[in-house]
Every structure is written in C-alpha cells, then in structure tokens.
Chains A and B, each alone.
Chain A
Amino acid sequence: MLLESVEYVRPATVEEALEALRSTEGAAPLAGGQSLVNVLKNRVAAVELLVDISALEELRTIDADGGALEIGACVTYDELDRSPDVRAAHPMLADVAGHIEDQQIRNRGTIGGNCCLSDPTNNLPPLLIALGATMNVEGAAGLRQVPADEFFKGYFMTAVEPGEILRSISIPALPGDAGVGYNTLAVAYDAKAIVRAAAMIQGNGEIADARVVLAVVGPVPIRHAGMEEALRGAPATAETADQAAEAIGDDIEPMSDTHGSAEYRRQVARVVARRAVTEAIARGGESQ
C-alpha cells in the first residue's frame, strides 16, 4: 500500500499552517494520521500537499477551568486517557478515549482527527455532542464556533471549510446534577462500532434535560429528539430509560452492511441508547 506522490510541509505555527492550507486547493492538514495515511494509501483522495500540524504545541494543550475543558485538536487519545484534568472534569471522555482501538493508535490519533474524519463509526463525535461541546474552527477570517451537533455534515464531511482547521474543542462543565452514559455494540473488543449511543441526563429525581445521541445509524451522529422528549420531565429511573427507548423506530435509517442490517441496527440502537441513558442516570445519581 503505497502513497501517490505528495508534497509535505511542517509549519511552525497555526498561522503558517493556515497559510499553507490556503496555498493550494489540494492541501490537507495531517494530524495523527491514523486515518488520513490510510486514505492516502488507498489513493482515494486527491491530496497534493500535506500540512503537518501534529507537532504544533498550540494545538496540543488541555486547559481546564472549573470543570470546563478546552482541548487542542492535536491532543491524542492517550493524552485524554491519562490527563488528570480530563479525568476530573469529564471522566467519560477519558474512558472513551482510552478504549479507542489500541495503544499505538491512541498514541498518534487525535481528538481533532477523530472528529474531522467524520467517520460514522468514530468514538468521540457522539460523546462530544452529548456533552454539548463547541468546535472552534479557525480560518482566514479568524475563529468561529460551531456547536458539535452542527459540526458533522455527512460521511467524511464536516463544517471545516477548505483553508480552515479545527483548532480546539470546548466542553462545558458538567452540571452538578448531570450524569453521562456511553454504550457501544462493537464487532469485537474495542473494535469497529455497530451501533453507539452517548447520553447526558440532568436532573434530581426528575429528568430536567436529556441529550441522547445515536451513532452508526446514519452518516452522522444524531440527537434523538423523540427519546429526549420522552425523558424530559420523567422520573430518573431505569424504567423511564426503557420506555423512552421505544421512541426509536422507523425514524432512523441506519445502513446495512456485513455487521448488521438496518433493521438489526434499529433494534439494537434502542438497547444501546437505553443502556447509555440508564448509565447516565446512575452516574448522575452517584455524583449527587
């Protein structure tokens, strides 16, 4: 598996990186490379210039502020897993990052890359949507903020325009009465996801707010309005989660592949969503 001829540049600053990205139409940012290098090997993308942003210190910081986090796009999964700040503020993010594929990939793969590839099976996008994250996108016109649930546009498509990069991801502090759940049915241990769900449930005794995100049921992770609606105002119990999951039905149009038909994914989405919500309720309860 060998790449096509390509130019490569390693900018010293984000500004230089943006400049390089604007210099030619076929420019692409290279972060951890754990997906992009495979794309290049398959010769399916017309990339003429690789702009290596993986070593830019500006993109490799984790700032914690009273439970809120701002995570640079080039922070690796392993760094998320091992960061005391991430563990303290958003332990679920650390756990999920620590179960992405394997150690080698976790040492190179980045939070920004996981999002910008917009592969529907990726681990972090549904969680970031559930956590209410904001994606900070930088381009010639400066920095713009895109809510995570508007960031993912389609298979391998995001809100990042040519000439822009994802600079960092802001995750608000978890409200005191909130809990987070995450559940995946994967092909095998830490392997490709068949269906995933992430949930944030807020409320003491009664659910005040619910964010339920399903993934691998379409091109991008989706918040399930019906299930969220069924949860809001209901008692924070496993039974509620069970009933609310029934809202998932023909409204989702999952893909069919060798790991499961659309109908199987639809049925399992209910299970996985319920489990994520149940976990979120339980964790919320624990944190009280």
Chain B
Amino acid sequence: MSDAGTVHPIRVTINGEAYERTVESRQLLVHFIRDTLALKGTHIGCDTGNCGACTIIVNGKLIKSCMMLAVQADGAEVETVESLAEDGELNPIQKAFHAEHGLQCGYCTPGLLMSATYLLRNNPNPSEEEILRGIRGNICRCTGYVNVVRAVQVAAGAEPTAGAASREEAAR
C-alpha cells in the first residue's frame, strides 16, 4: 500500500516522455498535464466530465482527464493530442479533420481527435452510428458534429455521409 497523504511523488509517461513530479492528492490529472507540465493541448470545458475537451488516452483507454486524479496516473502511459502529429506532419485523422472542416474554434478538437483515435484503433471500419456513439462524450458547439462524423469516415477510408449540395474538391 502507498502511504496515505496529501502529496505524493508520481512517475508518469506522457507521449513517450517520462515525468517525475510531486502532486497534491486533490490535483486533477488535467491540471497536472496543463498547469504542471504545460502541455496545453488538452483543454477544459466543463469541469464535470460531460464535455470531453480534456479527453486523453491512459494505458490504452480513452478517459476524461478532469475525472481522474493526477496521483491515479502514477505509473501510467498517457497519450495526449500532442502525440498525434508525426514529425510535425498531421496524421491521417488530423488530415481528415482538416479536409472535411471538422473543426471551427478548435477548442473541443484535441478531445475529439483522441476519441476518434481510440475509436479507429478499436474499430477501424466504424458505421455512422458507431462514430456518433464513439464521439458522444465530446461536446462541440461549433460544427454540429456533421463534419466531424465525415472526418472520421474519411480517416477510416470510407465515403463521408452525403448531405451537402456543394462538395467541391480541396483547392489545396
């Protein structure tokens, strides 16, 4: 058993890099990531585990980092949005969001990208319904989700759901 206390040393690997820090028991994982480690791609939108802006992957599982204490991540492997681009190049999911205009203000985007990543890892060919269910935990107030769903479809190599009368090819 670890020692009971209000502060604890923890060791956590984030995006392949190991960090050792001492944290207060009460510190939320999202605040550890944002405030302590200054990895600011993970956002906060609701404080109550509803909006999913703080979604990350911990030990292979998609979770909301505002619903977990930093001390609970001791020993964990964490993936955040900063892990997605490869050598500064957008990965296929990010490219699909870009191509399909799956983001506007970009605040919910890191969380949605992590949800899409997890979904496609576990289900490479999701149906439209599976995509909707897969991103249910991420609130987006700008896109109405339509282009987000299309982006995930494109990332999965599928045809995006039609509906638009104008679907011009990308100029670039």
| Residues on A facing B (Cβ under 8 Å) | 1-12, 16, 20, 23, 30, 33-34, 37-38, 40-41, 49-50, 52, 54, 78, 101-105, 107-108, 189-190
User: 5 smallest A-B Cβ distances: which pairs?
Assistant: A102-B137, A1-B47, A8-B25, A3-B26, A9-B4
Q: Find chain B residues with CB under 8 A from A2 CB.
A: 26, 28
Q: Is the CB of A4 within 8 A of B1?
A: no
Docked complex Cα distance between A51 and B68 (Å)? 14
Q: Is the CB of A41 within 8 A of B48?
A: yes
User: Which among B5, B52, B67 is the interface contact of A7 at CB below 8 angstroms?
Assistant: B5
With A5-B6, A12-B1 as given contacts, are A37 and B134 in contact (CB-CB < 8 Å)?
A: no
Pick out which of these stretches binds chain A: B12-20, B56-64, B81-89, B97-105: B56-64
Q: Find chain B residues with CB under 8 A from A1 CB.
A: 47-48, 66
| Residues on B facing A (Cβ under 8 Å) | 1-6, 8, 24-26, 28, 47-49, 52, 55, 61-64, 66-69, 71-72, 74, 115, 118-119, 133-134, 136-138
Q: Find chain B residues with CB under 8 A from A30 CB.
A: 69, 72
Q: Is the CB of B26 within 8 A of A104?
A: no
Docked complex Cα distance between A41 and B71 (Å)? 16
Docked complex Cα distance between A79 and B2 (Å)? 27
Given A101-B137, A102-B136, 9 extra CB contacts under 8 A? A7-B5, A9-B3, A20-B1, A30-B72, A37-B28, A103-B136, A103-B137, A107-B62, A108-B63
Q: Is the CB of A5 within 8 A of B24?
A: yes
Docked complex Cα distance between A8 and B29 (Å)? 14
Q: Find chain B residues with CB under 8 A from A108 CB.
A: 61, 63-64, 67-68
Which of B62, B74, B119 lies at the interface centre, i.e. has the most chain A CB atoms within 10 A of its CB? Answer: B62
